[in-house]
Amino acid sequence: MTLKPQLRRAIGVFDSGVGGLTVLQALRRRMPHRDFVYLGDTARVPYGRKPPEMVVEFAGGIARFLCEMGLDGLVVACNTASAVALPGLAESCPVPVWGVIDPGVETATRVTRSGSVGVIGTKATIASGAYQRRLEARGLRVWAQACPMLVHLVEEGLADSPEAELLARHYLSGHPEIDTLVLGCTHYPLLRNVLQRVAGKGVKLVDSAEVTAECVEATLGTPPACFVQGRVLHFVTGDPLAFAHTARVLGGVDGEIEPLPLRELARNPQANRRTAGISD
185 tagged catalytic: yes
Alpha-carbon gap, residue 131 to 126, rounded angstroms: 7
Determine whether 147 is an active site residue: no
24 Cβ contact list (under 8 Å, min separation 6):
13, 36, 38, 77, 232
Cα–Cα distances (Å) from 57 to 23, 67, 96, 195, in that order, read 22, 15, 19, 33
Which residue in the list 67, 93, 147, 185 is annotated as catalytic? Answer: 185
Closer residue to a copy of itself in complex, CB, 153/278? 153
Q: What is the DSSP string of 131-176?
A: HHHHHHHTT-EEEEEE-TTHHHHHHTT-SSSHHHHHHHHHHHTT--
Q: How far is the CB of 190 from a copy of itself (least distance, A)?
A: 15
Residue number with CB closer to a copy of itself (162 or 221): 162
Instruction: For 84-114, give the secondary structure using H, E and C.
Output: HHHHHHHHHCCCCEECCHHHHHHHHHHHCCC
Strand 116-121 vs strand 141-146: parallel, antiparallel, or unpaired? parallel
Binding site for a copy of itself (CB under 8 A): 42-44, 49-51, 54, 123, 148-149, 152-153, 155-158, 162-163, 166-167, 170, 237-239, 241-242, 245-246, 259, 261-262
In the complex with a copy of itself, which residue's Cβ is closer, 137 or 242?
A: 242
- SS (HEC) of 187-235: CHHHHHHHHHHHHCCCCEEEEHHHHHHHHHHHHHCCCCCCCCCCCEEEE
Write b or e for each residue in 1-14: b if 16 or more Cβ atoms lie within 10 A of its Cβ, otherwise e.
eeebeebbbbbbbb
- Nearer to a copy of itself by C-beta: 81 or 215? 81
Rounded to a whole number of angstroms, the minimum distance from the CB of residue 68 to a copy of itself is: 21
Which residues make Cβ contacts (< 8 Å) with residue 28, sequence separation at least 6? 34, 36, 230, 232
Nearest-approach distance from CB 63 to a copy of itself, in angstroms = 17
Rounded least distance, CB 4 to a copy of itself, Å: 19
Q: Which of 78, 93, 147, 215 is catalytic?
A: 78
**Shortest Å, Cβ 43 to a copy of itself:** 4
Q: Which is closer to a copy of itself, CB of 71 or CB of 120?
A: 120
**34 or 175: whose CB is closer to a copy of itself?**
175
Query: Shortest gap between Cβ of 192 and a copy of itself (angstroms)?
Result: 20
Residues identified as active-site = 78, 185
